[in-house]
A and B are shown apart, each in its own frame.
Chain A
Amino acid sequence: MGLLASILDLVGELVLARNELRSIETTDPALEGVIHRINNVTNALQATAVKTRMQPIEHVFSKFPRTVRDLAVSCGREVQLVIDGADTELDRTLIESIRDPLTHLVRNAVDHGIEPPDIRVSRGKPRAGRLSLRAFHESGQVTIEVQDDGAGIPVEAVRAKAVARGLVDADTAAQLPEDRILQFIFEPGFSTAAQVTSVSGRGVGMDVVKTNIEAIGGTVDIASRAGEGTTVRVRVPLTLAIIPAIVVRCDAERFALPQAAVGELISLRGDGGPRIEGLEAAEVIRVRGRLVPVVFLDEFLGLRPRTACREEGTVVLVRVDDHEFGIVVDSARTGTPADADRTIAEAASLSTIVVKPIGSLLAQLGIYSGATVLGDGGVVLILDLRGILRAARLPPLARPDDEDDAAAERAAVTDSYLVCRTNSGRRIAVPLANVARLERFGAQELQPVGHRQVVRRGQDFTPVVDADSILGAAAAPAAPAAGGGTIHLVVLDDRRGGVGIAVQQILDVARAESPLQPGLAASGVVGTLAVGGLATEVLDLSAAPFPP
């Protein structure tokens, strides 16, 4: 075992040396030929070395038949265990890391999921519960499914518990859909088991399972149907050590990102091409019709104040789990001197880096997943995208894959909203799909034209309507009372006459967490839904362009 570890370390060193070699410019054909050969051999050696680290998940699954049998006996259950894909391979270090979480999930399924035989029979189910463990490869990851055909997770009990713990208020909780409620199970200390059994221990399990899986770069999802069963899906990366990466430059520092997470590079040139929009609460960039939130890396890391690269720079679009966001940097190199506008698919080659640990002291900052040494000998930190997403607290916006989703109900739940506060203090939401842009200006720029008010931008006039007047609030000022204040304008798209809705403050951009409830409609309001954890009124835009 020690020998193999040494070999793998040396292969890592060879990859770094090969990178250095590749960065040497030469016109000597003999040297070029040798460099080429060393490159090929190193690639092949690396691929082979990676394979030696792989072990079948059988090493973890092999103990489960015994575990399940013993557990079933002590809990008074009858369980039939089905294992599929035990030959699925993953990195040996990851295998150890998933052993405990998987064991906990299996115990949960037997102890809390599957019902006692008599109850099962009374429900028309077979006496023996079915517990299925399935592992398979899927788009560069290993997916492990733990599925039982038991009673399912009691959603209402979870809902009540979430309210009781103050995680959400009762009104919003009532509107949240099931899959959102199930997420509460991952909160620390959350347990709806009426009794804490000695078998599964306290319900502290699920949050620990999630933390442990996420620590190795994986994800956990849970789905359940009342009376039918529960499925927990764990996804972990295949291997960690050697990955293709993109190196970005920000304020004279360099950072690396895993290429697998990067979708596209967008060049900001301030010439009418793509630009960053929005103010305060949410900065976004419009990508083929959808809005994606962005993080300014220089500001996020405290390198320099953000304004420096506001108009110029490069946006690196990344995808982490189901979140898409952009990281604004100065420039990005994909390994070839490529035009920053090119998508990754067009880039000829990428830097392959060896991920090295940075030690627990710095790893706990949560924003770096390691470091590497580049071909020129420079040490470069690798950004932990999940950690950045968490720390920057970016809102989820429309998923890229949802563009052709037609179901209205689903659209209502996955649509994103701009949450604002009106001048009278009311909290409202505007569907993001109807928003063309956000603007801010001083109240003194507001000009009366006939019955209306407009704000002028060069040759363009944008009609301004106060949000409160749409809501029918009496005596709503079209500008903050203390004239000379700042007006935030939510400018609607052309179909709605390009009207700007004046609000006091733009609070957030967030995804709807519940279907629209029209029952609570009031004047100027289409309905109510949960956004950003709170019940929020959705502004009725059907009358736009609004009458004066």
Chain B
Amino acid sequence: MPTTIPTAIRYCCFLVGDDCFAVVADSVAEVLHDSRITRVPQAPPAVLGLLHLRGRIVPVIDMRRRLGFPEAAGAVARTHLVLRLNDDWYSLLVDEMLDVVEVPEDRIERPSLTAADKPTDAVVGVYADAGRLVHFLDPQRIVNTLARQREQVIHRQGASHGGS
């Protein structure tokens, strides 16, 4: 019987707060620094706004907010991880890009998925490596939960029904 070599997939690791996270490297189209973000009124709180990347308009997701971390103290230079999910593009705003690692599938522990209303619902696996714990994120789950949030109910002016 041929020995099966466990598939190893490349992941981009990055820092949000003090924790290490990772997404499949193939989904990362680009890494940017300090890009100008245009606000989108009424967008979910974790969506900081839009950036312009060579003719493409890309929504920016603040990963500190999305994962439930407190706001960064002081002005912190942050990094954009631009992801491509099918035809949709998103930029994940993280604290620092780390490295690219190759992790065999069978080394990733898959805890039971957290309920969708928790900030960490996008974490689909963990991996202990060289003294750090890497949390693997599913980009689609990052986005799906946001789709269900509304920052503010848009209501007719003056007629507030308790929304917002």
Q: How far is the CA of A357 from the CA of B86 in the complex (A)?
A: 14
Contact, CB under 8 Å: A361 / B47: yes
Contact, CB under 8 Å: A299 / B157: yes
Interface of chain A residues 279 through 300 with chain B (CB within 8 A): 280-281, 283, 295-296, 299-300
Contact, CB under 8 Å: A378 / B159: no
Chain B residues near A368: list those with CB within 8 A.
40
Which residue on chain B has the smallest CB distance to residue A373? B52
A228 CB to nearest B CB, Å: 40
Contact, CB under 8 Å: B157 / A295: yes
Contact, CB under 8 Å: A306 / B157: yes
Q: Does B43 contact A (CB under 8 A)?
A: yes
Contact, CB under 8 Å: A371 / B50: yes
Contact, CB under 8 Å: A371 / B159: no
Q: Annotate B37-60 by CB proximity to A: 1 below 8 A, 0 otherwise.
A: 011111100010011100111110
Q: Does B156 contact A (CB under 8 A)?
A: yes
Contact, CB under 8 Å: B59 / A253: no
Contact, CB under 8 Å: B89 / A359: yes
Contact, CB under 8 Å: A281 / B40: no
Contact, CB under 8 Å: B39 / A358: no
Chain B residues near A394: list those with CB within 8 A.
156
Pick the residue among A302, A360, A371, A392 that contacts B88 (CB under 8 A): A360
Q: How far is the CA of A264 from the CA of B112 in the complex (A)?
A: 58
Chain A positions near chain B (C-beta within 8 angstroms): 9, 12-13, 16, 253, 280-281, 283, 295-296, 299-303, 306, 356-362, 364-365, 367-368, 370-371, 373, 377-381, 391-394
Q: Does B143 contact A (CB under 8 A)?
A: yes
Q: Does B90 contact A (CB under 8 A)?
A: yes
Q: Would you list the 3 A-B pairs with minimal beta carbon distance, nearest first?
A: A301-B41, A379-B38, A391-B154
Q: Does B152 contact A (CB under 8 A)?
A: yes
Q: How far is the CA of A391 from the CA of B50 in the complex (A)?
A: 22
Q: How far is the CA of A239 from the CA of B150 in the complex (A)?
A: 31
Contact, CB under 8 Å: B152 / A392: no
Contact, CB under 8 Å: A362 / B43: yes
Q: Annotate B71-95 by CB proximity to A: 1 below 8 A, 0 otherwise.
A: 0000000000000000011100000
Interface of chain B residues 139 through 157 with chain A (CB within 8 A): 143, 146-147, 150-152, 154-157
Chain A residues near B40: list those with CB within 8 A.
358, 362, 365, 368, 381
Q: Does B158 contact A (CB under 8 A)?
A: yes
A377/B157 contact (C-beta < 8 A), A361-B88, A362-B40 known: no
Chain B positions near chain A (C-beta within 8 angstroms): 36, 38-43, 47, 50-52, 55-59, 88-90, 143, 146-147, 150-152, 154-159, 164
Contact, CB under 8 Å: A302 / B147: no
Chain A residues near B51: list those with CB within 8 A.
379
B151 CB to nearest A CB, Å: 8
Q: How far is the CA of A16 from the CA of B43 in the complex (A)?
A: 26
Contact, CB under 8 Å: A280 / B154: no
Which residue on chain B has the smallest CB distance to residue A9? B55
Contact, CB under 8 Å: B157 / A253: no
Pick the residue among A16, A302, A393 that contacts B152 (CB under 8 A): A302
Which residue on chain A has the smallest CB distance to residue B154? A391
Chain B residues near A379: list those with CB within 8 A.
36, 38, 50-52, 57
Q: How far is the CA of A392 from the CA of B47 in the complex (A)?
A: 23
Q: How far is the CA of A403 from the CA of B58 in the complex (A)?
A: 46
Pick the residue among B43, B52, B56, B150 that contacts A377 (CB under 8 A): B52
Given A358-B59, A367-B154, A381-B38, 9 new contacts (CB under 8 A):
A296-B157, A302-B41, A356-B55, A359-B57, A359-B90, A361-B143, A365-B150, A368-B40, A379-B51
Pick the residue among A306, A360, A362, A380 that contacts B47 (CB under 8 A): A362
Q: How far is the CA of A167 from the CA of B50 in the complex (A)?
A: 40
A361/B146 contact (C-beta < 8 A), A302-B41, A303-B41 known: yes
A349 CB to nearest B CB, Å: 23
A361/B55 contact (C-beta < 8 A), A392-B156, A393-B156 known: no
Which residue on chain B has the smallest CB distance to residue A370? B57
B92 CB to nearest A CB, Å: 13
A302/B146 contact (C-beta < 8 A), A281-B158, A377-B52 known: no
Most chain-A Cβ atoms within 10 A of its Cβ — which of B47, B51, B52? B52
Contact, CB under 8 Å: A253 / B39: yes
Q: How far is the CA of A299 from the CA of B88 in the complex (A)?
A: 30
Q: How far is the CA of A391 from the CA of B155 in the complex (A)?
A: 6
Chain B residues near A12: list those with CB within 8 A.
55
A20 CB to nearest B CB, Å: 12
Contact, CB under 8 Å: A356 / B57: yes
Q: How far is the CA of A394 from the CA of B154 in the complex (A)?
A: 13
A356 CB to nearest B CB, Å: 5
Q: How far is the CA of A12 from the CA of B152 in the complex (A)?
A: 34
Contact, CB under 8 Å: B157 / A283: yes
Q: How far is the CA of A280 from the CA of B90 in the complex (A)?
A: 40
Chain A residues near B89: list those with CB within 8 A.
359
Which residue on chain A has the smallest CB distance to residue B50? A379
Q: How far is the CA of A484 from the CA of B158 in the complex (A)?
A: 22
Contact, CB under 8 Å: B50 / A253: no
Chain B residues near A283: list those with CB within 8 A.
157-158
Pick the residue among A280, A365, A391 that contacts B43 (CB under 8 A): A365
Q: How far is the CA of A394 from the CA of B47 in the complex (A)?
A: 28
